[in-house]
Amino acid sequence: MPNLKDLKNRIESVKSTRKITKAMQMVAAAKLRRAQESAEASRPYAERFNAVMAGLAASVGGSDSAPKLLRGTGSDDVHLLVVMTAERGLCGGFNSNIAKLARVKAEELRLKGKTVKVLTVGKKGRDALKRDFGDLFVGHIDLSEVKRVGYTNAQDIAKDILSRFDGGEFDVATIFYSKFVNVVTQIPTAQQVIPASFEDTEGDDSGAVFDYEPSEEAILADLLPKGVATAIFSALLENGASEQGARMSAMDNATRNAGEMIDKLTIQFNRSRQAVITNELIEIISGAEAL
C-alpha cells in the first residue's frame, strides 16, 4: 500500500498532466475552427471540378486518344498506396484508423497477386506501417516543418506521384486519408486518383450539350494532373480538420479521466491519512493507560 507521500506525489503528477491535456484541448479547438473552415470551403470546388471532369471523361470514353491518366496503362498489376497521416500523435485513433485501412487494402492486393508499393505522407503513417510493409516503401514526404498546409504542398506530392507514373513505376494509385464529419466522427477513406475515377454525375446540367475548344482530349490532358493535385489538397485539408477534431476529443477524454483519477487518489489519500491518525491516537491512549 503506498504511503502518504507517494499518494501526494501521484496526485500532483496527475494534476500536472490534466493541465497539459486541458491546454492541448484548447489549442486543438482553436486550430479545429480554422481547419474545418478550410476543409468545408474546398468541398464545393472539388465537387464541381470532379463533375466537369466526369462529363469530359464520359464524352471521351475509353478511346485510345484519351490521356494516359484517364485510360491508365492497360494493367493493374502494380499499385501505389499513398498513406496520408499526421506528423504528431495524441489524437486518438486518427492515425491508426488510416493505417489500418491501408493495411487491409495492401493485404487484399497481395492476396490477389498484385505488387504493392507504399508512399507515406506524415511520420505516424510511416511508423505504423514500417513493421509489416517496410520493404514495400518507395518514399516518404515529411511535412513536419510546414506550419500550414497549402496547395503548394499538394502540388509537390502530386508531382512526385505523376513522375513515378510517367516512369512506369505503378499502374494504379490510391490515396488514404480521413474525411472530416464532426469532432467525434472522422471516416477513413480510400480514393483512387490514377487512373482518374469519377462518380456518376448523370442528370447534372439538365442534359445540356457542350462544345469544347480545344478538344476534350486536350482539355483532359491539361486538367487531369491538376485533378490529382486537387484531390491531394482536399485530402490534406480533410486530414487537418480530422486530426484536430480527434485530438480535441482525445484530450477532452484524457482531462476527464485525469479528474476522475484525482478524485479517487484524493479519497485514498484521506483514508490513509485518517488511518495513520487513528493508529497514532491508539498508541497514545495505550501508552497513557500503561502508565
Going residue by residue through the chain, which has 291 residues, state the pLDDT in tens, using 9 for 90 and above: 578 888 889 999 999 999 999 999 999 999 999 899 999 988 888 888 888 888 777 777 666 677 888 888 888 899 999 999 998 888 888 999 999 999 999 999 999 999 999 999 989 989 989 888 889 999 899 888 887 888 888 999 999 999 999 888 999 999 999 999 888 889 999 999 988 887 654 445 545 566 666 777 778 888 888 889 999 999 999 999 999 999 999 999 999 999 999 999 999 888 888 888 888 788 788 777 776
The closest of 121, 89, 119 to 233, measured between CA atoms, is 121
The closest of 80, 54, 91 to 178, measured between CA atoms, is 91
Is the bond preceding residue 67 a cis peptide, omega within 30 degrees? no
Active site residues: 91
Query: In one letter, which amino acid is 9?
Result: N
Angle at 185 between CA 182 and CA 189, to 5 degrees: 110
C-alpha count within 13 angstroms, C-beta hemisphere, residue 202? 1
Find all residues with CB under 8 Å of 117, minimum gap 6, and list them: 78, 79, 80, 81, 136, 137, 138, 169, 170
Give me 175's grid cell.
490515396
First CA to last CA distance, the chain: 33
pLDDT of residue 282: 81
Alpha helices in the chain (DSSP H): 4-60, 68-71, 94-111, 123-133, 151-166, 216-290
**Three-class SS state of 182:** strand
Give me 138's grid cell.
518507395
Torsion sign across C-alpha atoms 234, 178, 56, 200: negative
Q: How far is 88 from 143, CA to CA, in rounded Å? A: 10
Domains located in the chain, CATH noted = 4-20+252-281 (1.10.287.80), 22-201+216-251 (3.40.1380.10)
Give me 31's grid cell.
486550430
pLDDT of residue 102: 93
Find all residues with CB under 8 Å of 165, minimum gap 6, and list them: 69, 173, 194
Q: How far is 214 from 211, CA to CA, in rounded Å? A: 9
